[in-house]
Amino acid sequence: MTSIASGQVIASRPKLRLGTGHFVVAVVVLTLGFFLIWPVVLLLINSFNAASDWFVEPRRWGLDHWVRAFEQPGVFTSLYNSILIWALSMAISFPVGVAIAWTLGRAKVPCSRWLEFAFWVAYMVPAIPTTIAWITLLDPDIGLINLALKALPFIDNAPFNIFSIEGIVWANLMGHGIAIKVMLLTPAFRNMDAALEEAGRASGAGNLRTMVQITLPLMISPMVLVFSLQTLRIFSSFETEFLLGLPFGFYVYSTKIFTLVRDEIPNYGEATVLASVTLLLVLVIIPVQRWILERRRYTTITGSFRPGVVDLGIWNYVIFGLIAFLVVLLTIGPMFVLLLGSFMTRIGYFALGFTLENWIYVLNDPVFLKSLQTTLIISSVAAVGSPLLFSVVAYILVRTRLPGRTLLDLIIWGSGAIPGILSGLGLMWVFLGTPGLHFLFGTIWALILVVILQGNTTGVNMMKGAFVQIGSDMEEAARAAGAGWFRTYFRIWLPLLMPTLVLLAVFNFVIAAGATGNIILLASRDTLTLSLMALELSTVGVSNREAASIVSIVILLLTVVVAVGVRALGLRLGVRHDITAATTVGAVGMRSPETGAGR
């Protein structure tokens, strides 16, 4: 323990042994730096290569790409559009996500675990089929909802148009906008000691005042992390904006970069220049995030941790109904439309009838079977390897004072600011330009490496939020009893971190199963994944959205089965949180969790 001048006692942070700690940090920094940052450095270096074709012409250094990049028509408009879509989406999704996460984590809402899992399912649905489902519902000409409303005698024109700014924001909210915030924040709210809130109620505060003055301030750490992670998505979101924006000439920054990379003659130089602007976000996000996290303590789990939930009385059922309705909008409705479309001769045209030909075509396609095998392999490895790697990195960043932590944090945040397709381009340069790594290009090993590392910014910061919440007294007690770091990890950290580890395992399985931009330049026909197959089927050249929907349904079923199994394991191994903390709305008195008697 260390005492400071004000008399406050702060627990000293545990340290790895000097030699081991420095060696581990060096290995982690060098490995992650090589595969996450060096590709970006290569891209920046090559942005000064004035050759028109990087892969054919000899290098010719100059500022040509930098000059021409910002002369591209619509560049600054697309930048403004990206910020507009992000601001509108965050203004709605963040407060809604925080409110739902608090309700599921701190209130005694019926079936709260299953409601939470429904948001996992919503996140598991890939962006492309989700957007297609909402096009089927809200297309101004053939949208099912618009057709039904126009059948009413007092409505002549379609009231909704998915091909609009409002439609893009709606599709983002109904896709991953709300779901990911509930996924990331609910475990943090649940891992809060009930005694902290009970102290507020004992002083006469109601549940609303307690939430505003006690719960939310203590949750600043995970909320800042989630907000920061979503801020990095300003320039990375692509599928929804591409499908809904291009029909009315609306470009965001990511679709502008994509058009440069996917032109008939790819313009990697100017695309790289535009993508480098996203690194400026890191210069703002990291200092603000570190200042917020280090200016005060946010520990909510200690050796005396007592979980609990708040009984809101009749409001439990009202809130349950509202969240259940939102779940229908997020999952059941679009998935039903997606399933319905897979049996349609052509999506949106009921007059053409229904058929099984789409399913027969996909299930008998050898490319589909090979893609399924590849997806299972890389997703399973990502689900197991990523939580282990990211938990070690987060431990170094939060629980040690070892040198190199700031550099490691910069590597983690910096890699998250690079759009996926250019990150894949950088890795392609690494594999082709590094002696001894040529054999990785086009193999499943390259894809495994990418999917393990691609969620590092979100995964490490999720684990950082969990470590920040947990006090050091339990680890110090284990060390005093003679336990080493590995034994302490499996006996102390693993049960406490299990909800986050399970969430991270499912999270990485899902993003690995749906990966496109990061791996599209590294995959070959032999290592095609289900997500790449679905993307290929939904392109304008192929335009087989029915088959793409079937492939996406398979991805969804695959991720749901894995999520259910891993979630059940996590609930058995984790800390229990189903103890009632208080009785009704506005209750000042508290009941014993065991007997319900007042104290």
DSSP-assigned states of every residue in 532-575: HHHHHHHSTTT--HHHHHHHHHHHHHHHHHHHHHHHHHHHHHS-
Strand-pair category, 580-582 with 309-310:
parallel
User: Is 69 in contact with 270 (CB distance < 8 Å)?
Assistant: yes
Among 141, 136, 130, smallest CA distance to 171 is for: 130
Q: Residue 197: what are its φ and ψ, rounded to 5°?
A: -75, -35
Give the mean pLDDT of the chain. 74
Check which CATH number belongs to the domain holding 573 and give it: 1.10.3720.10
CA torsion angle 288 13 28 443 (round to 10): -80
Q: Residue 24 is inside which H or E element, if any?
A: helix 18-32
Rounded Cα–Cα distance for residues 431 and 438 (Å): 5
Confidence of residue 548 (pLDDT cuts 50, 70, 90): confident
pTM of the predicted structure, to 2 decimals: 0.69
Rounded Cα–Cα distance for residues 523 and 532 (Å): 9
Residue 504 confidence (pLDDT): 82
Judge whether residue 596 has pLDDT over 60: no
Does some domain include residue 403? yes
Judge whether residue 235 has pLDDT over 80: no
Confidence of residue 211 (pLDDT cuts 50, 70, 90): low
Confidence of residue 169 (pLDDT cuts 50, 70, 90): very high
Residue 168 confidence (pLDDT): 92
Among 233, 283, 238, smallest CA distance to 257 is for: 238
DSSP-assigned states of every residue in 250-295: ---HHHHHHHHHTSSS--HHHHHHHHHTTHHHHHHHHHHHHHHHHS
pLDDT digits over 492-544, tens only? Answer: 777 777 777 887 887 788 778 877 777 877 887 788 888 888 777 766 555 67
Judge whether residue 12 has pLDDT over 70: no
Judge whether residue 306 has pLDDT over 70: no
Does some domain include residue 286? yes
Residue 214 confidence (pLDDT): 65
Please tell me which residue, 510 or 470, carries the higher pLDDT value: 510
Cα angle, residue 460 at apex, residues 454 and 464 outer, rounded to 5°: 165
Judge whether residue 591 has pLDDT over 50: no
Residue type for 486, please? F
Averaged pLDDT, 234-258: 80
Rounded Cα–Cα distance for residues 504 and 501 (Å): 5
Of 233-237, 304-308, 327-331, the range with the lowest mean pLDDT is 304-308
Residue 408 confidence (pLDDT): 85
Averaged pLDDT, 332-359: 77
Of 50-54, 57-61, 443-447, the range with the lowest mean pLDDT is 50-54
Of 50-54, 66-70, 246-250, 550-554, the range with the lowest mean pLDDT is 50-54
Instruction: Please give the structure tokens belonging to residue 18.
Output: 């000097």
Judge whether residue 301 has pLDDT over 50: no
Does some domain include residue 405? yes
Judge whether residue 388 has pLDDT over 80: yes
Does some domain include residue 599? no
Does some domain include residue 598? no
Domain that holds residue 243: 13-582
Does some domain include residue 588? no
Does some domain include residue 126? yes
Residue 136 confidence (pLDDT): 77
Judge whether residue 1 has pLDDT over 50: no
Instruction: Please give the structure tokens belonging to residue 367.
Output: 């490319």
Q: How many domains does the chain have?
A: 1
Does some domain include residue 5? no
Q: Best-predicted range by mean pLDDT among 20-29, 50-59, 96-105, 107-116?
A: 96-105
Averaged pLDDT, 171-196: 78
